[in-house]
């Protein structure tokens, strides 16, 4: 939501602003005295060892990394096979340093010379066609890449190799980018960073981190429309698995491969939305692959969100309301739903949708009203309300939820933004985060819900813990797909996600980053960037790297 209209007739005495963290220097008074709680973070940076491709159909993996002192670059891909593949084409990757790799293509002996090799690098670089089967390429950022080679012989016959998964990590900072050629490959890259192989991870090297989580399910949403996917992030965290994207008309092959990687046969895939969002052909393919399919679908996006809340999340105690007419506020809400102050009895908060400035779905209205408490009960700083509205339109929708006279006009843009402890027209309490635009709403949401993770030292200590690690995600605020799947990973990590434009940090995003990166030493920080340079420019990642201590 890019505006923050507030009802003209709202009870201004009830707008008790307790906004966190927007002083002149970008550091809150609370933040000047305390550090963020440690967030547990373990990603597998070296994957299972696999032999180089000897025939079409294999999928070798490799890692290119700047070597530490006394270490050679790590490679689980190996050199090109000694013998040509029996048919088609094959690709192997030999890592060098600083993101540079050698790609080696081979054609079957049956292909007629002369041969032409077209290398596809899996990033934004232009494909290269040449007469030799080896080429060097330098990757400009840390991510998973999926290169291929296509070989064409003298008769015009072409063969393309299997996809080779390549993890590039320059190891020079604490900023990691997860990206692929498209949103489906990006969602798989995010999943691969966090979720273990279905058969269990095997360390490729003695220094490999082997703490990826075993997935217990997969949540699947359309990659072509946000409406039914908005409520899926807390579901993925609750079911303990990745949120992946698929084409509406059929199961995307790269997504199918990732499901097979993380989920054993017989596991459950939760599909979001009706047939228009994800067709029955997807269900059929999942069944054919040996999976159980559970679909959460309502008659519209509001009904789908309610179905996820009641059936998927088992009627949680808390709810976050966002507009269902846009995606930005819902992206910030996803990780916030798993915050300490909104989770209860092991369940994250549900994300429910308003129709702009009103809640038009009766079941949604009843669900939200049942979770509010009397305004005179809790205090504004206690964070005990079980309903939070994110964005100006959601605030309007909740504030007048019980009005018998219809919605008030939302046109007063002079109200202070930030965290608001507010009152409905019939005296029930809820919280709201109101930003002047989507970027401020996301930053304020991050500040608010991260405050619930502050962890005091043992009794007798006057200071909060100093040995802290902080993690946040960064995604485009103009498209939903990368932030959706990245937000699902952040929700599992109990970390927020910030939104940005492609080429520069919006003001409030920059303030949040400055707040974290100026915390007293020896705090350390990590940032995950979701999406490629077309979504978030490399210069922005470089600027973030410069602010974060390795």
Residues 473, 449 share a domain: no
Question: Would 1 be classed as within a structural domain?
Answer: no
- Higher pLDDT residue, 198 or 420? 198
End-of-domain residue from the set 142, 173, 204: 173
Lowest mean pLDDT among 94-103, 318-327, 347-356, 435-444: 94-103
Planar angle of CA 239, 419, 480, nearest 5 degrees: 45
Q: How confident is the model at residue 263 (pLDDT cuts 50, 70, 90)?
A: very high
Task: Report phi then psi at 484, rounded to 5.
Answer: -65, -55
Looking at the chain, the number of H-run helices and the number of E-run strands are 13, 27
Query: In this model, does residue 152 exceed pLDDT 50?
Result: yes
- For 465-502, the pLDDT digits (tens) are 222 347 889 999 998 899 999 999 999 888 889 999 99
- Higher pLDDT residue, 17 or 293? 293
Residues 400, 436 share a domain: yes
Q: Are 337 and 320 in contact (CB under 8 A)?
A: yes
Residues 269, 150 share a domain: no
End-of-domain residue from the set 418, 453, 488: 453
Check residue 140 and give its pLDDT: 64
Question: Would 409 be classed as within a structural domain?
Answer: yes
- 261-296 in b/e form (b: 16+ CB < 10 A) is bbbeeebbbbbbbbeebbbeebbebbeeeebebebb
For residue 48, with 0-12 CB atoms within 10 Å meaning exposed, 13-18 middle and 19 or more buried, which class applies? Answer: middle
User: Cα separations (Å) of 332 from 60, 290, 336, 478, 518?
Assistant: 36, 34, 7, 13, 23
Q: What is the dihedral of CA 496, 500, 505, 510, to 10 degrees?
A: -20
Question: Would 82 be classed as within a structural domain?
Answer: yes
Question: Would 331 be classed as within a structural domain?
Answer: yes
Beta strands 268-272 and 292-296: pairing type?
Answer: parallel
Q: How confident is the model at residue 50 (pLDDT cuts 50, 70, 90)?
A: very low
Residues 223, 89 share a domain: no
Tell which residue, 235, 168, 143, 217, has the closest CA to residue 482.
143
Q: What is the 3-state secondary structure (H, E, C) of 508-548?
A: HHHHHHHHHHCCCCCCEEEEEEECCCCCCCHHHHHHHHHHC
Range of the domain at 90: 61-173
Lowest mean pLDDT among 19-23, 59-63, 291-295: 19-23
Question: Would 343 be classed as within a structural domain?
Answer: yes
For residue 246, with 0-12 CB atoms within 10 Å meaning exposed, 13-18 middle and 19 or more buried, which class applies? Answer: buried
Domain CATH number, residue 87: 2.60.40.10
Both ends of the chain: CA-CA distance in Å?
A: 35
Query: In this model, does residue 223 exceed pLDDT 50?
Result: yes
Whole-number percent of the chain with pLDDT over 70? 68
Tell if the pTM clears 0.85, that is, is over it.
no
Question: What's the total number of domains in the chain?
Answer: 3
The upper half-sphere exposure of residue 404, i.e. CA atoms within 13 Å in the direction of its Cβ, equals 1
End-of-domain residue from the set 173, 197, 221: 173
- For 168-197, the pLDDT digits (tens) are 654 345 788 888 888 999 999 999 989 999
- 216-243 in b/e form (b: 16+ CB < 10 A) is ebbbbbbbebbbbbbbbbbbbbbbebbb
Question: Would 34 be classed as within a structural domain?
Answer: yes
Tell me the mean pLDDT in the region 262-281.
Answer: 96
Tell me the mean pLDDT in the region 357-364.
Answer: 92
Question: Would 458 be classed as within a structural domain?
Answer: no
* Average pLDDT in the chain: 74
């Amino acid at each position: 939501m890019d505006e923050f209209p507030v009802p003209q007739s709202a009870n201004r005495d009830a707008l008790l602003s307790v906004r966190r963290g927007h002083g002149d220097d970008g550091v809150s008074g609370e933040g000047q005295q305390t550090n963020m709680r440690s967030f547990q973070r373990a990603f597998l940076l070296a994957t299972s060892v696999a032999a180089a491709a000897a025939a079409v159909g294999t999928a070798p993996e490799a890692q290119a990394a700047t070597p530490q002192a006394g270490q050679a670059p790590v490679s689980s891909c190996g050199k090109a096979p000694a013998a040509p593949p029996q048919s088609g084409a094959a690709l192997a990757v030999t890592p060098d340093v600083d993101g540079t790799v050698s790609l080696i293509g081979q054609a079957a002996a049956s292909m007629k010379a002369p041969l032409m090799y077209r290398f596809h690098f899996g990033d934004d670089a232009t494909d290269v066609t040449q007469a030799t089967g080896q080429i060097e390429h330098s990757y400009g950022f840390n991510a998973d890449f999926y290169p291929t080679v296509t070989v064409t012989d003298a008769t015009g016959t072409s063969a393309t190799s299997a996809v080779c998964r390549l993890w590039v990590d320059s190891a020079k900072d604490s900023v990691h980018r997860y990206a692929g050629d498209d949103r489906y490959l990006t969602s798989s890259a995010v999943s691969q960073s966090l979720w273990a192989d279905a058969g269990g991870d095997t360390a490729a090297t003695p220094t490999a981190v082997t703490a990826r989580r075993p997935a217990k399910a997969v949540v699947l949403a359309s990659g072509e429309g946000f409406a039914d996917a908005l409520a899926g992030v807390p579901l993925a965290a609750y079911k303990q698995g990745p949120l992946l994207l698929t084409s509406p008309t059929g199961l995307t092959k790269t997504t199918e491969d990732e499901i097979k990687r993380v989920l054993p046969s017989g596991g459950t895939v939760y599909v979001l939305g009706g047939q228009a969002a994800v067709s029955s052909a997807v269900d059929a393919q999942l069944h054919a692959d040996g999976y159980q399919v559970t679909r959460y679908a309502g008659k519209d996006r509001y009904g789908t969100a309610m179905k996820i809340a009641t059936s998927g999340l088992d009627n949680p105690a808390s709810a976050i309301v966002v507009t269902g007419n846009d995606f930005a506020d819902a992206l910030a809400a996803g990780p916030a739903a798993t915050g300490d102050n909104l989770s209860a009895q092991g369940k994250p908060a549900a994300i429910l949708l308003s129709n702009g400035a009103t809640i038009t779905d009766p079941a949604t209205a009843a669900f939200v009203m049942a979770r509010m408490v009397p305004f005179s009960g809790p205090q504004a700083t206690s964070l005990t309300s079980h309903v939070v509205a994110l964005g100006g339109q959601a605030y309007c929708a909740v504030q007048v939820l019980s009005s018998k006279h219809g919605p008030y006009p939302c046109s007063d843009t002079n109200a202070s933004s930030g965290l608001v402890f507010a009152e409905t027209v019939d005296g029930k309490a809820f919280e709201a985060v109101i930003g002047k635009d989507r970027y401020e709403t996301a930053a304020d949401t991050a500040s608010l819900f991260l405050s619930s993770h502050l962890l005091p030292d043992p009794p007798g200590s006057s200071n909060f813990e100093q040995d802290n690690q902080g993690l946040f995600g960064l995604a485009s605020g103009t498209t939903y797909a990368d932030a959706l799947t990245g937000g699902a990973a952040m929700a599992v990590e109990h970390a927020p996600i910030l939104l940005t434009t492609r080429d520069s940090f919006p003001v409030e995003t920059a303030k949040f980053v400055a707040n974290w990166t100026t915390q007293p030493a020896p705090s350390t920080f990590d940032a995950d960037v979701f999406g490629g340079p077309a979504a978030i420019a490399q210069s922005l990642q470089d600027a973030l790297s410069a602010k974060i201590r390795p």
